[in-house]
């Protein structure tokens, strides 16, 4: 939940996709615009320049039978605006891997600690293993590692030359028997 350190937050409880194809959370009813959240413009040496921050994602998936639910958070660096499924050149920041849910709802909680500075003009960070908790009723588990997580941990990207380019988005993927998905929280906190 947002707190006194929450600086940026996307709208809460956004209805998500239920497709077997990885699909971005849409902005409103758009079929082409991603729901983005970013740091905005800051001055050199400002609140985020050279200071760590936490990126938090909480999502829910509901299924009527056996289903895999995957949540990913990307750095929006690919300039893909034609649809909600093209992810070319976007950088995966943190991913849940496929979480099994069956005839129940499941929640995925993920956090990444990130930092960007105006000198290096690069985003660096790591995802928190213990914070990557999938509260799946049938098989509760700590997400330790997954094919969906970037091969490089810490995350490094030179795709963010200025702070206003630090924009993130969420995708959901659900296999057969998907009923609904929801982005419950998507926020950035100062540390």
Provide the residue range defining the domain that includes 144.
Answer: 6-190
Q: Please state the domain count of the chain.
A: 1
CATH at residue 101: 2.60.120
Whether pLDDT at 21 is above 60 = yes
1 lies in some domain: no
Q: Return the pLDDT at 155.
A: 58
Instruction: Please state the φ and ψ torsions of residue 164, each to the nearest 5 degrees.
Output: -70, -10
92 lies in some domain: yes
Q: Return the pLDDT at 45.
A: 61
Residues 2-21, mean pLDDT to the nearest whole number: 71
pTM more than 0.85: no
Please write down the long-range contacts of 4-9, taking CB distance under 8 Å and 24 or more positions apart.
5/189, 5/190, 5/191, 6/187, 6/188, 6/189, 7/39, 7/47, 7/48, 7/53, 7/188, 7/189, 7/190, 8/37, 8/38, 8/39, 8/40, 8/187, 8/188, 9/37, 9/185, 9/186, 9/187, 9/188
182 lies in some domain: yes
39 lies in some domain: yes
């Amino acid at each position: 939940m947002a707190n006194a350190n929450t600086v940026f937050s996307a709208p809460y409880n956004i209805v998500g996709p239920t497709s077997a194809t990885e699909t971005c959370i849409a902005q409103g009813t758009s079929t082409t615009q991603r729901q983005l959240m970013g740091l905005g413009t800051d001055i050199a040496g400002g609140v985020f320049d050279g200071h760590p921050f936490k990126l938090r994602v909480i999502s829910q998936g509901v299924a009527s039978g056996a289903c895999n639910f995957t949540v990913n958070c990307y750095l929006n660096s690919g300039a893909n605006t034609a649809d909600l499924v093209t992810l070319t050149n976007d950088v995966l920041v943190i991913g849940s891997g496929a979480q099994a849910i069956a005839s129940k709802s499941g929640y995925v909680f993920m956090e990444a600690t990130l930092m960007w500075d105006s000198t290096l003009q690069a985003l660096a960070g790591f995802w928190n293993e213990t914070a990557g908790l999938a509260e799946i009723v049938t098989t509760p588990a700590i997400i330790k590692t997954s094919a969906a997580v970037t091969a490089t941990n810490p995350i490094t990207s030179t795709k963010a030359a200025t702070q206003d380019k630090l924009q993130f988005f969420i995708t959901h993927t659900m296999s057969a028997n998907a009923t609904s998905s929801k982005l419950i929280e998507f926020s950035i906190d100062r540390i």
